[in-house]
Amino acid sequence: MPCVLQILGESFDPSTAPELSALQPYATFRRGDPNQGYPGFTEVGGLTCEVSPRQRFIDLIEQSSGYIGRHYDLMKSLDDIEAVKYRTLTFHISPKEFKTLESRVMFPSFLVKLCAELSLSISLLVA
C-alpha cells in the first residue's frame, strides 16, 4: 500500500500553480470535472501524488520523510495559494499490518514537525 499526498480546495485549479508539477502528481482535477470511476462530478479541485510505493509501514514513514524534506520549500509555498484548503499525507496500510501495529502506530518527531510546519494533516487508511 502506498503513501499519497493530496492538495485540495473547493476553488483550487492545479493548472494555476504550474510549479506543483515538480511534485509529479499522477492525478489532477478541477471542481466540476467528471469524477473518475464514480457517477457525478468532483466537488473540489486538487492533485494527488504518490509519495512512496512501499508496502511496509516503516518504509512508508522513511520514504515520506525524505519526500517532504526534498519538497519542503515548494510545499511551504502552498501557504501563498489561497484556494488550497486541505493538505493531507495519507498512509495506506493493510488490515493485517494495522492489526500487528495496533496501538503502537507512532510517527517520528521529525516527520510530525515537518507536517506541522507545512500545515499537512496525517491520516491512516486501512484497506
Residue 74, pLDDT score: 95
Q: pTM score, two decimals? A: 0.87
Phi, psi of 5 (to 5 degrees): -110, 130
Written as tens digits, the pLDDT of the chain (127 aa) is 699 999 999 999 999 999 999 999 999 999 988 877 778 888 899 999 999 987 788 888 889 999 999 999 999 999 999 999 999 999 988 888 888 776 666 788 889 999 999 999 999 898 8
DSSP sequence for 84-101: --EEEEEEEE-HHHHHHH
**For residues 67 and 10, is the Cβ–Cβ distance under 8 A?**
no
Res 116: pLDDT: 95
**What pLDDT is stored for residue 89 in this prediction?**
96
Task: Provide the residue type at 102 as one letter.
Answer: E
